[in-house]
Amino acid sequence: MAQFNIENYELVVDRIKRFYEMYPDGRIVTEDYTTENDRASLMWRVKATIYLNAGDQALGLIKSTGHAFEIDGAGMSQKTAALETCESSAIGRALYAMGLSGQKSSSREEMEKVQRGVTPAKPAQPLPDGLLKEIEIAETLDDLKLLWSDAVAGGWSAEVQALVTKRKGELS
């Protein structure tokens, strides 16, 4: 495992404080992007969007965005607050993207995740014969949902997500 000093990394709360000192009317907006399939894998996903003021937000003038994931139970706070931890990480990434990162691009919270050795997915499993073809010819959204559930349970979701999303659009 990589060696680093966690004390060299800035807390997200410090980035947030600096942001509001610079932009008192600034806006930090978060969205929970967690899907049912993510929840089945005990994972949370959040997107944070930064606006410099209310006017920019009203006009959709985004300054930066950031994304993060967390896994339930992967560390102390993740046992009870994985979503909240994920939200903080996404905000930290968005603030980094606009240049408010201190001396390091990663936040202390992100580096704590590295220390825990968190990985977002199960080891890759080979796709069963015919799964991709079944997705291509699925006739209903219910059929597609069942195939997607099988893919998540089997650890194949990363490989089939784009195809399922495409087919879902065709059926909708």
* Predicted confidence (pLDDT) at residue 138 exceeds the cutoff of 50: yes
Whether residue 136 sits in one domain with residue 109: no
82 & 45 share domain:
yes
What are 76-130's pLDDT values in tens digits? 444 567 888 889 889 988 998 888 876 554 555 555 555 555 454 444 456 777 8
Q: Answer yes or no: are the C-beta atoms of 49 and 94 closer than 8 Å.
A: yes
pLDDT greater at residue 62 or residue 106: 62
Phi, psi (deg, nearest 5) at residue 75: -160, 180
Domain edge (last residue) among 116, 143, 160: 116
Say yes or no: 166 and 106 in one domain. Answer: no
Are the C-beta atoms of residues 156 and 127 closer than 8 Å to each other?
yes
Same domain for 55 and 93:
yes
pLDDT of 171: 79
Q: What is the domain range of residue 143? A: 131-171
- Mean pLDDT, residues 20-48 taken together: 91
Structure tokens belonging to residue 95: 């603030």
Q: Is residue 70 part of a domain?
A: yes
pLDDT tops 90 at residue 60: yes
Same domain, 140 and 104: no
Same domain membership, residue 85 and residue 139: no
R_g of the chain computed on alpha carbons? 19
Give the total number of structural domains in the chain: 2
Q: Is a pLDDT exceeding 90 seen at residue 14?
A: no
Question: In this structure, are strands 27-32 and 64-71 parallel, antiparallel, or unpaired?
Answer: unpaired
139 shares a domain with 78:
no
Tell me what pLDDT residue 133 has. Answer: 84
Token pair recorded at residue 87: 């939200």
Tokens of 83: 């979503």
Distance separating alpha carbons of residues 28 and 89, to the nearest angstrom: 13
Clarify whether residues 164 and 100 are in a common domain. no
pLDDT averaged over the chain?
78
| The dihedral formed by the CA atoms of 109, 113, 114 and 117, expressed in degrees to the nearest 10 | 170
Mean pLDDT of 68-76: 72
